[in-house]
Chain A
Amino acid sequence: GQNIDQPTEMTATEGAIVQINCTYQTSGFNGLFWYQQHAGEAPTFLSYNVLDGLEEKGRFSSFLSRSKGYSYLLLKELQMKDSASYLCAVSGGGNKLTFGTGTQLKVEL
């Protein structure tokens, strides 16, 4: 089966750096995804990791360790608009994605 864990809520200050962790246990692995979802909107794709290491894309970076079943999403220079839910998802085989319940990030002044 598939199990994905991530914190329910996090709070950070504008301009700071925040790291959102995700641990997973899956029967197969074809890649790990991070999505951002603002309230009332569709999830939007942020990053995809299939090999170990860090992928950097502007203010957002994502890290993967397959041996530890662990990933994190790093957000730098936080802005108020980054307040959203961040979803970790794993492709365990085929094109089926299993999502965590999401981490609600609140950015404060």
Chain B
Amino acid sequence: KAGVTQTPRYLIKTRGQQVTLSCSPISGHRSVSWYQQTPGQGLQFLFEYFSETQRNKGNFPGRFSGRQFSNSRSEMNVSTLELGDSALYLCASRSGQRIYEQYFGPGTRLTVT
């Protein structure tokens, strides 16, 4: 079974721009969660989507948004980028049945200059 894939793997953007990151979950998995990882804050939960609906949301500003498509692929968007948004963005997929069966993708490394 193919794992979680994320595109692009690396991205460089300028302050004020917007960015869209993509995540394709493991086949059959309906839940996709997004996390931001920085050296100082560690892994922080952004949001979770299940069957195209946002089910949980972390404490991030409205500049961070996401969506999920009918094929379970998910995108997250960050508008008006700030230097502090530089981070590794990880998505994780789950079949929806067991919380501990969550598998992470390799992440997208976003650098904002």
Contact = CB atoms under 8 A, between A and B. Distances in A.
Q: In which size bucket is the chain B interface?
A: 20 to 34
Interface string B53-74: 0011010000000000000000
B100 A33 contact: yes
Interface residues of A, number: 22
Interface-central residue, B42, B90, B105, by most chain A CB under 10 Å = B42
Nearest to A88: B42
Q: Per DSSP, are chain B's interface residues mostly helix, strand or loop, or mixed?
A: strand
B43 A42 contact: no
B22 to A, nearest CB: 15
A30 B99 contact: yes
B106 A87 contact: no
B104 A42 contact: yes
A96 B45 CA distance: 7
A43 B106 CA distance: 8
Interface of A: 30-31, 33, 35, 41-45, 48, 87, 89, 91, 94-102
Interface of B: 4, 31, 33, 35, 40-45, 48, 55-56, 58, 90, 94, 99-107
